Structure 1
Amino acid sequence: MTETSSGDLFARYCLPGNRYKKLLSGSFMRADRDQAVQFGVAMMDDARRASASELEQLLQGDWREALTACWLIGFARESEFRPELHKRITEGQVGHIGKGVAFALARFCGLSDAHVLKWYLERALSEPEKTGKPAMVSRCPAVCRGALGREAFARSTCLRWAVGSMGSGRFH
């Protein structure tokens, strides 16, 4: 099987409807219902269509390609990419792709994913100068609470603080 050129993959998966910009800004989540459904259907269709090789190529590309790859991986629940996504978080390689990594790990919904997201959230909240405004902070607590269980979740001061902050819009 021949590899598709990175330019072809970018044009196919990142550019339609300014997809990578919508994924970065999260604007598709603020769209009206019809637009949001249309966006989600297009993402799901492309997630089904993309091969593991294409997703790997996108993941190794620039931030626009990697961001799109993470979301496609999440939509397709391609858990074979779990180790790579965990590595990116633990090695601080999320940058612009944070929302996509968080989405994919939340879709996998495993205990190890919750632990990685919890670790990132605690780090992000304790070191904001290093992590900036972490894109996934506002959505991590629900994933962590669901996978870790209420008791383990409640033991984390940072997570309790984050949940309280979510209602204020501080991380949106």
Structure 2
Amino acid sequence: MRYANTDPELMDLIRRFVAPDRRYMRLGGSGLRLSGPERDSFVRELVRDAGEITAAELGILLEGGWRERRTACWLVAVAGRTEFRTRIGELLLASGGPYQGSPCIALATFGTGADADLLCAYLDRYLPRTELVWDQGVVLSTLLHLDAVLGAERAAPYLADGGPWQQWAAATTNVIRDPREYQQVVAQLCAFADECAELFAAS
């Protein structure tokens, strides 16, 4: 992991891509509430930066903290850079704490069975860990979204009565009580990412 306070290269990338207008916060969901010129500007700048950032710079951001990773995963999603799938899957599976579910937006927008496999690998590892309240709810909601896109039922075993999700949720203080409801938020985030991706492709 790289740390901005000791890494001038990472700090420069944070100044350019992560920190402006607290982008990393808006990419967490608050950007969905933007409207009018403010929204247009946010989308335009995100699309611009998705085109300007290099693969090497994305790799550096993915080695940073959750803010840097969240931003990098959105830039990857907007630009459709599926070559980062394996690295993003590795980061998701390694986790290391809350707010590490940022890879979900990239995997959701890639939208293939391979992406669902990575989400399932996370759930297989972390749903049994009832002492950890990390991103299990976000990941399961993203898997539900991919199921809807792909016409699959990969999430069903996790949601079965008495199954892994119920056991984990009953033992934790997780804020996502029903991943089916949060699936709607995932769908909204993906729709926003898809809108940006269309503008990126047309630019």
Q: TM-score range by the shorter chain?
A: 0.7 to 0.9
The alpha-carbon distance between structure 1 residues 77 and 159, as it changes in their structure 2 partners (threshold 3 A), is farther
Equivalent of residue 14 in structure 1, options 3, 10, 18:
18
Matches within 5 A, 1:45-84: 45-84=48-87
Cα distance in structure 1, aligned partners of 2:183 and 2:112: 27
Pairing 1:144–2:157 present: no
What are the ranges of 5 or more consecutive residues in structure 1 without an aligned counterpart? none
CA RMSD after TM alignment: 3.3
Cα distance in structure 2, aligned partners of 1:171 and 1:129: 27
Cα distance in structure 2, aligned partners of 1:170 and 1:155: 14
What percentage of residue pairs aligned between the two structures are identical? 29
TM-score (norm 1): 0.75
Equivalent of residue 46 in structure 2, options 30, 43, 47:
43
Q: CA deviation at 1:61?
A: 1.9
The alpha-carbon distance between structure 1 residues 84 and 41, as it changes in their structure 2 partners (threshold 3 A), is same
TM-score (norm 2): 0.65
Matches within 5 A, 1:93-172: 93=96, 95-98=98-101, 100-121=102-123, 125-132=127-134, 134-147=137-150, 149-150=151-152, 152-153=153-154, 155-158=156-159, 165-166=178-179
- Whether contact under 8 Å (1:115, 1:144) holds in the other structure is no
Alignment: residue pair count? 164
Cα distance in structure 2, aligned partners of 1:62 and 1:35: 27
Secondary structure of the 1:96 match is coil
Larger relative contact order (Cα-Cα within 8 Å, sequence gap ≥ 6)? 2
